[in-house]
Amino acid sequence: MMDRTMLKSALLSYWNDQTEVFDYGQGHLIYLPWHYGDDDAVALYVEEHDGLVTITDHGTTYGRIAAAAINMDTDRVHAAWKAALGPMAHLGIGASVDEISATCDVKDYPERLGQLASACLRAEQVTQLGTAPKALRFSDRVSRTVQKAVRDVRGVKAKPQAPVMLVSGRTRPVTTLVHPDSGPDVWVQAVGGNDKQAREDALERCVHLFHFGRSDHALRMAAVKGHRDLWGDAMERELRDVAQRVVYVDDAPHMLEREILQTISPQGQLT
């Protein structure tokens, strides 16, 4: 029979397993077992300096609202944002206006981090004031980015969810097939996932497709969600065993587009 001790123990065990901490910059990036509306985990950056700890979402929550075409300058939206943050609105030393941030003593860090994560989830609800489109799946985001990258390249087309041939003779869909009129195809596979198990599953699908696919190693690209630190060296080695290019699409603006154009050049020419 379930009792209070067992319930608490099971809950803490789950939170422990689903919380991931990575070295990042001068501090640490923490992925928590709470998720935004599109199922992306709440990620907070933590850095200690002179005995104080700063916790921030680096403006990601604000960015989600802006991406939903919400005008943050209206009185209504500004009031909703402040109300969602509550006491967290004034706890970040030196924070920019788009950050949800707090600065505290080291001993207070766990409590503040929990409060800040809750504020992020409340603040995201500001998107309900607009008519935001449904958030794109990562694979759809990759397909759109690839299509945009080759849109002005003569003789090159991007085909989302195109069937590709395996050595067994079976076909499987690849996230996007880049098809030059003259030259071999480039396979681009999205590798996403909002938690540890989902990332493992996406990795296995990519490795299976590339390992058994009828394509050259140099013409395979893995488009990976998030930053390199989230995945780790072992996962990256597995991807590089089967793909020439492993692109962490959030490491730098337009990273995926640049890699696509480098891969197809000089096969395609800008119109």
- pLDDT > 60? residue 71: yes
User: What percent of the chain has pLDDT above 90?
Assistant: 30
271: confidence class by pLDDT, cuts 50, 70, 90: very low
Q: What angle do CA 46, 42, 65 make, to 5 degrees?
A: 110
Closest by alpha carbon to 172, among 113, 217, 212, 114? 212
pLDDT tens for 191-247 read 998 888 889 999 999 999 999 999 898 899 999 998 888 898 999 999 999 999 999
DSSP state at residue 125:
G
142: confidence class by pLDDT, cuts 50, 70, 90: very high
Q: Is the peptide bond before 184 cis (omega within 30 degrees of 0)?
A: no
